[in-house]
Structure 1
Amino acid sequence: EAHHLRNVYKPTNRIANTIKTAVARSPKILLTATPLQNSLLELYGLVSVIDNYAFGDLKSFKSRFSRLTGEDNFDDLKGRLKPICQRTLRRQVLEYIKYTNRIPITQEFYPTDDEQRLYNLVSDYLQSPTLYALPASQRQLMTLILRKLLASSTYAISATLEALAWRLEAIIDRHAPPPALFEEIISGNLETFDEVKEEWAEDNGNGASEEPSYTPEDLKLMGDEIRSLHDFHALATGIRKNSKGEVLLTALQKGFTLAQEKGAERKAVIFTESTRTQEYLKNLLDSTEYRGKVILFNGSNNDPQSREIYKKWLERHDGTDRVSGSRTADMRAALIDCFREEAEILIATEAGAEGINLQFCSLVVNYDLPWNPQRIEQRIGRCHRYGQKHDVVVVNFLNKKNAADQRVYQLLSEKFRLFEGVFGASDEVLGSIESGVDFERRIAQIYQGCRTEQEIQSAFDALQKEMESQIDETMNITRQRLLENFDEEVHEKLRVNLQESKQYLSRFEDWLWELTRYYLAPYADFSSDDHSFMLRRNPFPPEKIHPGPYRIGRNIEDANTYRVGHPLARRIIETCRSLLLPRRELTFHYSTNPKKISILEPLVNKAGWLSVINLTLSSFETEDRLLFCGLCDDGTELDEEACRRLFSLPAAEPTEIPTDDQAATRLTGIACTQESRILRENTERNAGFFDMEMGKLDKWADDIKNSLEIELKELDKEIKFRKTEAKKIPNLEEKVNAQRQIKELEKKRNTLRMNLYQAQDEVDARKDKLIEDIESRLKQKLERNGLFMIRWKII
């Protein structure tokens, strides 16, 4: 979920900046399904975590890339991203991964008179020109939040209405509540509040402004607003049954029937944006045949049922590596296991459900619908993902008395194609809109600005026309093109990588299995059929390695998952690597080997010598290379691959032998030849690295210099504008003041001009220092470590 670092370019994002600083000198891989959610600036932020010198400063990036109008800018940006970003789309892996379909169900409902009255009253209230309850600096944001809660349920909106009234009463009593406390109430209901707040913030931030002073007239109007809010709250709390909630049971029955017809299990995930709505839905379903089959999943997971599930899960997995020690991670694992094995329905907030895999569930219910298409795609993607075996049924609710709701659903369904097909909202369509947040903002403006049905229809007609134009025009020049390679190139790489990965995986697992069997022979009982063993006692007492069942493989539930990175495996590998291996004669048995190895057949009934040296090469990166050096008794040198394959054969118990100095000298010569070849290849590769880094630093320096010149150009523009405006001023005193201000700006411009060349020289000096650093890293350092020398014989 690396996209959480996307706003690292904002100084106010302290968590992202702290992480960036902490991992600055470490090699990094950032994984995300949504690298480009709202703005190209987010891409700038993510790239800076990997490499601070891929682009200049923020000002130069905005100047050059904020509008990708020209192909030159587009190609430059794509070129800079290519070494850093690797993007693979669903359509590119269809040859290897079977993606199922999405099937939509629309559940219509009609609100009661009281529900409609509440909606109309709150909507009219939000459209008032002056509102005292909402912080002025966050009027747009808070209006959006209230509309989200209003559309979710009466339970979601009622507590917030009460909090608004409480805020106003506190202001009248001259002890205005701190903004943080008010926001805490909102975020407790809407878990995505902080994220939405950050997305809606302008570049210069929208921090809380100081509370203004109020006149007696203001205080009177505040009293009226408080009474209205209390009336709204009373109306909301008086509505015990929500029409949408009442048709949820019908929707679930339809969804389960369709999902089970497709062969799926009886599992459903219900998404809501509000924790209050989540509680309401849990109580509602617990009063039906679903009682005992429903669990909650949110950002805190602190309800009694979740705590009990967690407690039982810890008892069940005590003494295994399923327990990570992190309460948050283990609680999530416990709830997902419970949903998979016992419960039928998971009611989740999207903040809580981020990053979880629910491919065993094939019914998604959007109880309330976000206006940001990216968020909807992320919801459905919890279930409609790699590993899903069945078509995914997507249920949405539609208020038949709300014209705006119907038009939003039409846009999301028909234009974004979110709810049906193999791909849902394709990268091209989502990439064609300026941003998910901008789209959300446009819809919020329609809800806020239109009062009659005719105004609503006209506004949505205009938005739909604009959307069609955007999608059609940018389908081929979409910003997602920045992160894609040609399909043919991707297909070929995937084909090769898939095969190589399978071979590597199989080989590493075989090596790990054989090494573990050798070292743990006194400590464990082994079963070769399923690559499992029962560890009777800990071979490394100071370490916390618990006895019990272990198995190599994936998706293991009944044993510890044994892998190269497991603490037990790491200790075995470290211990075996440090062993001193004496000279021995090994007799390899080819005749009893079930597999044919063509490269070894000519060596049957022959003998010779073999040595293995570990070569550690430190330059741009540090890497270990194994040099396999072998020869036959007749003086023939062995192919490096033949030496490697020799160790895939079973061998008899070794016998100790004396050193053969002549053979040792020959093997050293072979090693020197291999070493020279490796050094030559490394030098050529490093030369390519150096050229690439030089090109990058040249562009970085140009970006920084460009940023300095931008400030100068902006000042020139400002001076020109002020001079034009000064000529229009009739009053002499005002004219003189205007000229004085212009003089100050001109003085600032002259200082900037004088400093520009010095600043540009400093940039070049910084670049030279970076180049020196790269040059020092490119110097090759060699370390040789002879691992062993053996006498070999193949029979």
Structure 2
Amino acid sequence: MSFHSTKIHLWELGGRDVSEHEPSANIQADDIETVLENGGSSGLSQHLLNVESRRLGIAQGEQELLAVEEIKDRIKLLDHQLNAAHRALFRMGSGALFADEVGLGKTIEIGMVLKEMDFRETHHSFLVLTPAQLAPQWQKELKNKFGLEFVCNYDDEFSGFDAHDKIVASVDTAKMSGSREEVLSRRWDVLVLDEAHYVRNRDTIRYELIDTIDYGQAFFATATPIQNDITDLYNIINLVRPGLLGTKDEFERRFVADKETSQIKNADELQKRLQPVMIRNRREETKIDFTNRRVQTNTFEPSASEQKLYESVTDFVRSSYSSANARHLVMLTLEKEVVSSPRAVDGTISRWLERDDHSISRSERNQLSAIRETIDSIDTTTKQKRLSNILGSLDDQVEETQAVVFTQFRPTQQEIAEQVRREGYTAHIVNGDLSSRGKERVVGEFKSEGGVLIATDSISEGRNLQFCNVMVNYDLPWNPMKVEQRIGRIDRIGQDREVFVFNLALEGTVEEHVLDKLYGKINLFNQSIGGLREILSRMEKSGSDFEREVFERLRSADDAVELENNFEEMAVDLEENKEAAEKMDDFNKSVFDNFEFTGGEA
């Protein structure tokens, strides 16, 4: 059991302190004054009671957001965000789970909570834990939008978790040996955890770390508190508010009707239990006028040389594939590269041919050499021409062209950059070689200078690019989750223009099958991240990686008819998963519908 689960809840903006007594949410300022008059007969120290009396007096006397005036010129706070922050501060005690749907600004809501605490000077030590790629963004938003100076664990001036009072850090850094000891060596007034669904499993080091941290208040954020199992919700809530839902056995006995299907019972009672700890806004319940998303997906006929290259690579993969060693990873990469760009394929083949360890046979070497000859015969690709058309059409419609182009491969990225520069555009490149700070710098330059941002999936999750409204998927990840994560960079709150997404795919290739059979079956471009995660969860949970499954279906087909049948079977599986996900959505609604998530007006 974690240390913080044994503490009494003494409320001021939900604060809590150490006591031998049972937790209570009913201690008021008048109660403490009475205890003081009686000489502290409750056993609490005189000093503690004086402190809590003062803090509770502040909270009860000023239950309004005082810091709004200070930041009104920095950020426009929406009604649902103000209501969420107000409820978390004044009505939810020792912490809250912010469970708004994707794109509604959970970071802003928590930022407002932290700003109010800092403004009132009631809390002094703050630890914000996030996925690694989001830590610099959290730091930047807290500074630019709320005037809060946090040090990030990636900063040069970061001296350890025991050396600063306001820290944004990667949760995986915090759990590492050395860092973990520093995190656990002190008490934090406030703990923030972003993407809290990553700690839904009690058997992970992440969960154990969060459960062990000594903190006063906890604010967690996730759009998907329930993913595969109702116990996901239990585990997360038990970190935010230990004991609120009882023991796990008690929770399952009272609220779970069927473990296999996560069917719920006593939904009304569960809603009542969640009321003091969960805040959830839905898109349709807000007053936000979300812009339209227009997705244009066209398949283009490859040139004769491109078709020959695709067939040669696919034949090589089928004839040379072996799952007995690491070779299958190279084969999978080749199948992805061949529909991205000839240059991407050439890079992989060249590295293979340059090896002198006899890892490939003479026959394979001859096949690879023939593939390189085909690559040399290709001057300009079909996708290059289509990208040029898209950028040219933008020039005709807007004063300054600004578009994000996503690709999975560095050689393709370089090829695109060279092309857009030749055509007179500024090219900005972001990939995994850049540090988080470097990515922030390049994105900032793209925002101010315009042009084309050519990015790999190293920024497909968590980065805010809503100042741009045009995206090109130069090559398509086989996993639909990655596609939606890309689109989510520009189609999010703060986007005030129509969003245009262009998907480039070659006819007669795996891209066409993925688009037609798989993306179409789950209606990808109308799905949310949460919905996709639920649809794909069965494949992931069974140990069958989605992309690996696509590859196996492609590799094992002996002819075009069998290939069609293989993808049709996979589409049927996805359809079944979609139906299961819809049942889970119905289950979520049975818990969350008619739920007073954000409470009254701020």
Same fold, TM-score > 0.5, yes or no = yes
Contact 2:320/2:364, CA 8 A, preserved across alignment: no
The match for 1:296 is 429
Q: Which amino acid aligns with 1:6?
A: Y
The match for 2:364 is 225
Number of aligned positions between the proteins: 400
Matches within 5 A, 1:755-770: none
Contact 2:339/2:506, CA 8 A, preserved across alignment: no
Picking from 422, 438, 460, the partner of 2:567 is 460
Segments of 5+ residues of structure 1 without an aligned counterpart are 173-218, 302-327, 501-795
Indicate how the Cα distance of structure 1 residues 276 and 457 shifts in structure 2: closer, same or farther if over 3 A, else same. Answer: same
The match for 2:121 is none
Q: Using the alignment, how far apart are the partners of 2:235 and 2:411 within structure 1?
A: 34
Contact 1:366/1:394, CA 8 A, preserved across alignment: yes
CA shift digits 1:608-657 (9 cap, x unpaired)? xxxxxxxxxxxxxxxxxxxxxxxxxxxxxxxxxxxxxxxxxxxxxxxxxx
The match for 2:402 is 267
Displacement of 1:375: 1.3
Indicate how the Cα distance of structure 1 residues 108 and 165 shifts in structure 2: closer, same or farther if over 3 A, else same. Answer: same
The match for 2:82 is none
Secondary structure at the residue paired with 2:489?
A: coil
Matches within 5 A, 1:680-699: none
Secondary structure at the residue paired with 2:537?
A: coil
Q: Using the alignment, how far apart are the partners of 2:422 and 2:539 within structure 1?
A: 38
Q: Using the alignment, how far apart are the partners of 1:246 and 1:401 within structure 2?
A: 18
Matched, 1:332 2:436: no
Displacement of 1:269: 0.9
The match for 1:150 is 338
Indicate how the Cα distance of structure 1 residues 485 and 331 shifts in structure 2: closer, same or farther if over 3 A, else same. Answer: farther
Q: Using the alignment, how far apart are the partners of 1:96 and 1:107 within structure 2?
A: 34
Contact 1:271/1:368, CA 8 A, preserved across alignment: yes
Contact 2:430/2:455, CA 8 A, preserved across alignment: yes
CA shift digits 1:552-600 (9 cap, x unpaired)? xxxxxxxxxxxxxxxxxxxxxxxxxxxxxxxxxxxxxxxxxxxxxxxxx
Displacement of 1:275: 2.0
Secondary structure at the residue paired with 2:595?
A: helix
Matches within 5 A, 1:161-560: 161-166=349-354, 169-170=356-357, 172=358, 222-236=361-375, 239-254=378-393, 260=398, 266-290=401-425, 293-301=426-434, 328-402=435-509, 404-411=510-517, 413-419=519-525, 424-425=527-528, 427-428=530-531, 431-435=534-538, 437=540, 438-472=545-579, 474-475=581-582, 477-478=583-584, 481-482=587-588, 485-490=591-596, 493-494=597-598, 496=600, 499-500=601-602
Matches within 5 A, 1:589-738: none
Q: Using the alignment, how far apart are the partners of 1:276 and 1:66 within structure 2?
A: 50
Displacement of 1:41: 9.8
Contact 1:267/1:363, CA 8 A, preserved across alignment: yes
Picking from 1, 21, 31, the partner of 2:221 is 31
Contact 1:271/1:347, CA 8 A, preserved across alignment: yes
Q: Which amino acid aligns with 2:564?
A: Q
Secondary structure at the residue paired with 2:412?
A: helix
The match for 2:311 is 120
Contact 1:6/1:45, CA 8 A, preserved across alignment: no
Contact 1:3/1:46, CA 8 A, preserved across alignment: no
CA shift digits 1:517-556 (9 cap, x unpaired)? xxxxxxxxxxxxxxxxxxxxxxxxxxxxxxxxxxxxxxxx
Q: Which moved more, 1:26-35 or 1:110-119?
A: 26-35
CA shift digits 1:293-345 (9 cap, x unpaired)? 221122223xxxxxxxxxxxxxxxxxxxxxxxxxx454333322222221222
Q: Using the alignment, how far apart are the partners of 2:239 and 2:349 within structure 1?
A: 41
Displacement of 1:357: 0.9
Matched, 1:68 2:269: no
Displacement of 1:32: 4.3
Displacement of 1:147: 2.2
Q: Which amino acid aligns with 2:261?
A: T
Contact 1:368/1:397, CA 8 A, preserved across alignment: yes
Displacement of 1:249: 0.8
The match for 1:6 is 198
Which protein has the bigger helix share?
Answer: 1
Indicate how the Cα distance of structure 1 residues 433 and 453 shifts in structure 2: closer, same or farther if over 3 A, else same. Answer: same
Indicate how the Cα distance of structure 1 residues 82 and 21 shifts in structure 2: closer, same or farther if over 3 A, else same. Answer: closer
Contact 2:476/2:511, CA 8 A, preserved across alignment: no
Indicate how the Cα distance of structure 1 residues 383 and 74 shifts in structure 2: closer, same or farther if over 3 A, else same. Answer: farther
Displacement of 1:369: 0.9
Secondary structure at the residue paired with 1:127?
A: helix
Contact 1:108/1:399, CA 8 A, preserved across alignment: yes
Q: Which amino acid aligns with 2:382?
A: S
Q: Which amino acid aligns with 1:386?
A: I
Secondary structure at the residue paired with 1:248?
A: helix
Displacement of 1:152: 1.8
Q: Using the alignment, how far apart are the partners of 1:271 and 1:460 within structure 2?
A: 25
Secondary structure at the residue paired with 1:458?
A: helix
Indicate how the Cα distance of structure 1 residues 251 and 21 shifts in structure 2: closer, same or farther if over 3 A, else same. Answer: same
Indicate how the Cα distance of structure 1 residues 37 and 408 shifts in structure 2: closer, same or farther if over 3 A, else same. Answer: farther
Q: Using the alignment, how far apart are the partners of 2:493 and 2:362 within structure 1?
A: 56
Q: Using the alignment, how far apart are the partners of 1:448 and 1:80 within structure 2?
A: 52
Displacement of 1:238: 5.4
The match for 1:91 is 283
Secondary structure at the residue paired with 2:491?
A: coil
Indicate how the Cα distance of structure 1 residues 20 and 146 shifts in structure 2: closer, same or farther if over 3 A, else same. Answer: farther
Indicate how the Cα distance of structure 1 residues 393 and 72 shifts in structure 2: closer, same or farther if over 3 A, else same. Answer: closer
Indicate how the Cα distance of structure 1 residues 411 and 390 shifts in structure 2: closer, same or farther if over 3 A, else same. Answer: farther
Segments of 5+ residues of structure 2 without an aligned counterpart are 1-130, 132-193
CA shift digits 1:9-52 (9 cap, x unpaired)? 699x98x5896588466754443456677899988997787689
Q: Using the alignment, how far apart are the partners of 1:233 and 1:39 within structure 2?
A: 49
Q: TM-score, normalised by structure 1?
A: 0.43
Contact 2:475/2:505, CA 8 A, preserved across alignment: no
Kindly name which structure, 1 or 2, has the bigger radius of gyration based on alpha carbons.
1
Q: Using the alignment, how far apart are the partners of 1:484 and 1:360 within structure 2?
A: 37
Q: Which amino acid aligns with 1:494?
A: T
Contact 1:111/1:243, CA 8 A, preserved across alignment: yes
Q: TM-score, normalised by structure 2?
A: 0.55
Displacement of 1:156: 1.9
Q: Which amino acid aligns with 1:108?
A: T
Q: Which amino acid aligns with 2:497?
A: H
CA shift digits 1:421-453 (9 cap, x unpaired)? xx5447446524435755434322221222322
The match for 1:744 is none
What percent of counterpart residues are identical?
A: 26
Q: Which amino acid aligns with 1:406?
A: E
Q: Using the alignment, how far apart are the partners of 1:242 and 1:40 within structure 2?
A: 49
Q: Which amino acid aligns with 2:221?
A: L
Q: Using the alignment, how far apart are the partners of 1:35 and 1:340 within structure 2?
A: 33
